[in-house]
Structure 1
Amino acid sequence: MKILYVITGADIGGAQNHLLYLSDWFSKKGHDVHVVLGEEGPLQQALAEQNIAATVIPIPRTIKLAKDLKALWHVFLFIKKGNYDIVHSHSSKAGIIARLAGFLNHTSKNIYTAHGFVFTDPTLSSKKKNLYLSLEKLFSSISTNIITVSNYDYQQGKTYGIKEQKMSVIHNGIPEQAITSHSDWQKKQLRLRDTDKKVIGFVGRFVSEKNLDMLLRLASRFNGQKVEFWLIGNGPLYDHYQTEIVKRNLQAIVQLKGHQDNVLEWMDNMHAMVITSHKEGLPYVLLEACGRGLPVISTDVGGVKEVVDPYGTRDILVDINDDEAMYRKLVSLVSDDSAREEMGKVLLERAGAFTVEQMCLETNEVYLFK
Structure 2
Amino acid sequence: MAPLKILQVCALDTTAETMLQPLLLALQNAGHDVGIACADTGASVKLAAKGFRMHDIPIERRIDWTSNWRTIREITRILKEDGYDAVHVHTPVAAALGRVAAKRAGTKHIVYTAHGFYFHEKMGRMTYQLTYSVEKWLARLATDYLLLQSEEDYQLAQRKRFKANTRLMHLGNGIDL
Aligned to 2:126: 127
- Structure 1 distance, partners of 2:117, 2:17, is 16
Aligned to 1:58: 58
Aligned to 1:19: 20
Note if contact 1:18-1:172 (Cα within 8 Å) is conserved in structure 2: no
RMSD: 1.8
Structure 1 residues 287-314: Cα deviation after superposition (integer angstroms, max 9, x where no partner)? xxxxxxxxxxxxxxxxxxxxxxxxxxxx
Note if contact 2:147-2:169 (Cα within 8 Å) is conserved in structure 1: yes
Note if contact 2:17-2:47 (Cα within 8 Å) is conserved in structure 1: no
Aligned to 2:6: 3
Identity %: 27
- Structure 1 distance, partners of 2:42, 2:114, is 22
Q: Which runs of 5+ in 1 are unaligned?
A: 180-370
Structure 1 residues 302-343: Cα deviation after superposition (integer angstroms, max 9, x where no partner)? xxxxxxxxxxxxxxxxxxxxxxxxxxxxxxxxxxxxxxxxxx
- Structure 2 distance, partners of 1:127, 1:42, is 37
Letter aligned with residue 125 of structure 1: G
1:16 deviates by 5.5
Dislocated runs of 4+, deviation >4 Å? none
What is the 5 A alignment of 1:269-308? none
1:170 deviates by 1.7
Aligned to 1:99: 99
- Structure 2 distance, partners of 1:174, 1:50, is 21
Note if contact 2:40-2:57 (Cα within 8 Å) is conserved in structure 1: no
What is the 5 A alignment of 1:67-86? 67-86=67-86
Distance change (3 Å), C-alpha of 1:154 and 1:43: farther
- 1:34 maps onto 2:35 in alignment: yes
What is the 5 A alignment of 1:201-212? none
Letter aligned with residue 135 of structure 2: E
Letter aligned with residue 137 of structure 1: K
Structure 1 residues 78-102: Cα deviation after superposition (integer angstroms, max 9, x where no partner)? 0001111110000111111111111
Structure 1 residues 128-179: Cα deviation after superposition (integer angstroms, max 9, x where no partner)? 111110110111122111100132210022233412432111234534xxx3
Structure 1 residues 182-227: Cα deviation after superposition (integer angstroms, max 9, x where no partner)? xxxxxxxxxxxxxxxxxxxxxxxxxxxxxxxxxxxxxxxxxxxxxx
Distance change (3 Å), C-alpha of 1:42 and 1:152: farther
Aligned to 1:114: 114
| 3-state SS of paired residue (2:18) | helix
What is the 5 A alignment of 1:1-370? 1-12=4-15, 17-37=18-38, 39-119=39-119, 121-141=120-140, 142-165=142-165, 166-172=167-173, 174-175=175-176, 179=177
- Structure 1 distance, partners of 2:122, 2:174, is 28
1:49 deviates by 4.2
Note if contact 1:24-1:52 (Cα within 8 Å) is conserved in structure 2: no
Note if contact 1:149-1:172 (Cα within 8 Å) is conserved in structure 2: yes
Q: Which runs of 5+ in 2 are unaligned?
A: none
Aligned length: 172
- Structure 2 distance, partners of 1:81, 1:2, is 12
| 3-state SS of paired residue (2:172) | coil
- Structure 1 distance, partners of 2:100, 2:35, is 18
Distance change (3 Å), C-alpha of 1:52 and 1:172: farther
TM norm structure 1: 0.44
Distance change (3 Å), C-alpha of 1:157 and 1:47: same
| 3-state SS of paired residue (1:122) | coil
1:21 deviates by 1.4
- Structure 2 distance, partners of 1:131, 1:162, is 15
Letter aligned with residue 8 of structure 1: A
Note if contact 1:5-1:19 (Cα within 8 Å) is conserved in structure 2: no
